[in-house]
Amino acid sequence: MKRRRRTPTPDLEQAAGAGLMHRRAFIAGAAIAGAVAAEPARAEGLAVEPWMTAPGSPFTGYGQPSRFEAGVARVFANPPNAPGSGAARTPLHRLQGMITPNGLHFERSHSGVPDIDPDKHRLLIHGLVTRPLVFSLETLSRYPMESRIAFIECGGNSAQLYQTEALDADAQRLHGLVSCAEWTGVRLSTLLDEAGVDPTALWVLAEGGDAAGMSRSVPIAKAMDDALIALYQNGERIRPSNGYPMRLLLPGYEGNMQVKWLRRLKLVETPVMTRDETAKYTLLRPDGSALQFVFGTEVKSVITQPSPELSLKEPGLHEISGLAWSGAGRIVKVEVSADGGRSWAEAHLQQPILSKALTRFRLGWRWDGGPAVLQSRATDEEGNVQPTREALLARRGARALYHFNGVASWGVAASGRVTHVYA
């Protein structure tokens, strides 16, 4: 039988400047097979390694990562006089897919993680309701539960990009205050319907059970929409650092509104103006005024590979991969540039593509060994397009501290070293 000659696939053709390939290379799956050189097979085959000559370790009650993955960990910083206040950041550049493992989910605490006895913890719903209600964890567990995959992003994520000079830092330190998980719990609207919402109630005060008493005002419309009293995270009870035994989940809203260690929900007519929504989490405008109640997380993306700490070893075919998200809904497009924004190629979006969840994007890149500047920009289903850093600063000013969603840039040197740059 005569073998048919395989014609070169057009999927590996350049789609934009500096070697970016067409996204069909990743839609086809195996289209780039053979383009990356594997280690040649040796005639004698594979060696018998030491771990094949003796039984391995026994079972454990709770599985742990391989000891060779010890570097895949959160980094954190605390003020010297306040060890419980600060943040631990997700190692985005070391992960794949869209789900963040529980032990690597970012953490933001204002007064440390409380050690809450679940049997004693209670959730109170009161204020402008027909009848106040108190729920124990056991009582809540009897209600119908549902699951949803949603990201949570701290309002201060990527805030370093407001600075005048590009900070010498990697993806984890710059953008690691965002994570995504499957959350399972009870719809807040179910509990509010049972309590009976007074028509004058337009806001809900959510209060946490930590020593800081973290509190935020939430619009009643959001509470009755897709809010969840989350009890589980990726199938197991929520970790203490993420709100055990229960937290408020507000898909698409800024992270500090999704109050952890939730203990009280009070329905009120107007915002309560707590410390956490006045002194912090506001946007300072160029004219000196402050913009309050910026709830939704704007469309955003970041390239996680290659990135600082993941330098390129040699020219040739590489994969550009990253994450995109939006509080307005689904991501519909991510474009990638390797020449600092002069030309763009559309990336492949990896399934599943869910509303208000992290979306993984991928694109092939044939690096020629010369300098390059990698960028990504995302578009959501509402038509919102991630702005350039310059456009964001022009609108918001350089005195802002929160909600940075401008395009981020990685500079690739001829040596393969990747650094954070402004382009």
Mean pLDDT of 151-168: 96
Assess if residue 269 is contained within a domain: no
Q: Which residues pair with 300 in a beta bridge?
A: 325
CA–CA separation, 154 and 98 (whole Å): 17
Mean pLDDT of 16-42: 66
Assess if residue 319 is contained within a domain: yes
Assess if residue 320 is contained within a domain: yes
Residue 391 has pLDDT above 60, yes or no: yes
Residue with token string 């190629």: 345
Confidence at 297, pLDDT banded by 50, 70, 90: very high
Assess if residue 361 is contained within a domain: yes
Residue 19 has pLDDT above 90, yes or no: no
Mean pLDDT of 364-387: 97
SS3 category, 336: strand
Q: What is the DSSP string of 354-384?
A: -TTS-EEEEEEEEE-SS-EEEEEEEEETT--
Question: For residues 13 and 25, is the Cβ–Cβ distance under 8 A?
Answer: no
Q: Which residues pair with 319 in a beta bridge?
A: 364
Residue 84 has pLDDT above 80, yes or no: no
CA–CA separation, 347 and 361 (whole Å): 6
Q: Which residues pair with 323 in a beta bridge?
A: 302, 360
CA–CA separation, 243 and 173 (whole Å): 23
The larger pLDDT score, comparing residue 294 to residue 303, is at: 303
Q: What is the pLDDT of residue 400?
A: 86
Checking DSSP bridges between strand 262-268 and strand 122-127, what pairing results, if any? parallel
Residue with token string 């897919």: 97
Report phi then psi at 262, rounded to 5. -60, 130
Question: For residues 188 and 248, is the Cβ–Cβ distance under 8 A?
Answer: yes
Residue 6 has pLDDT above 50, yes or no: no
Assess if residue 409 is contained within a domain: yes
Report phi then psi at 68, rounded to 5. -80, -10
Residue 193 parent element (H or E): helix 188-195
**Closest by Cα among 297, 292, 268 to 278:** 292
CB proximity list for 395: less than 8 A, separation 6 or greater: 387
Confidence at 372, pLDDT banded by 50, 70, 90: very high
CB proximity list for 43: less than 8 A, separation 6 or greater: none
Confidence at 138, pLDDT banded by 50, 70, 90: very high
Sequence letter at residue 172: Q
Q: What is the pLDDT of residue 246?
A: 98
Return the percentage of the chain with pLDDT > 70, whole number.
93
Q: What is the pLDDT of residue 3?
A: 44
Assess if residue 306 is contained within a domain: yes
What is the overall mean pLDDT for the chain? 91
Assess if residue 247 is contained within a domain: no
SS3 category, 394: helix
SS3 category, 164: coil
The larger pLDDT score, comparing residue 294 to residue 238, is at: 238
Return the percentage of the chain with pLDDT > 90, whole number.
76
Summarised one tens digit per residue, pLDDT across range 31-80 is 555 555 556 666 678 889 999 899 999 988 998 899 988 999 998 887 77
Q: What is the pLDDT of residue 12?
A: 66
Mean pLDDT of 330-351: 97
Checking DSSP bridges between strand 122-127 and strand 133-136, what pairing results, if any? antiparallel
Lowest mean pLDDT among 72-76, 113-117, 180-184: 72-76
CA–CA separation, 310 and 329 (whole Å): 30
Residue 347 has pLDDT above 90, yes or no: yes
Q: Residue 410's domain is classified under what CATH number?
A: 2.60.40.650
Residue 319 parent element (H or E): strand 316-325
Q: What is the pLDDT of residue 262?
A: 98
CA–CA separation, 315 and 17 (whole Å): 16
Torsion angle (degrees, nearest 10) of CA 156, 103, 100, 416: 80
Residue 2 has pLDDT above 70, yes or no: no
> At CA 240, angle to CA 218 and CA 267, rounded to 5?
20
pTM of the model: 0.91
Q: How many domains does the chain have?
A: 1
Residue 196 has pLDDT above 80, yes or no: yes
Residue 376 has pLDDT above 70, yes or no: yes
Summarised one tens digit per residue, pLDDT across range 199-220 is 999 999 999 999 999 999 999 9
Lowest mean pLDDT among 55-59, 230-234, 247-251, 353-357: 55-59
CB proximity list for 15: less than 8 A, separation 6 or greater: 21, 22, 23, 345, 346
Residue 392 has pLDDT above 80, yes or no: yes
Q: Which domain holds residue 343?
A: 300-421
Assess if residue 219 is contained within a domain: no
Q: What is the pLDDT of residue 7?
A: 45
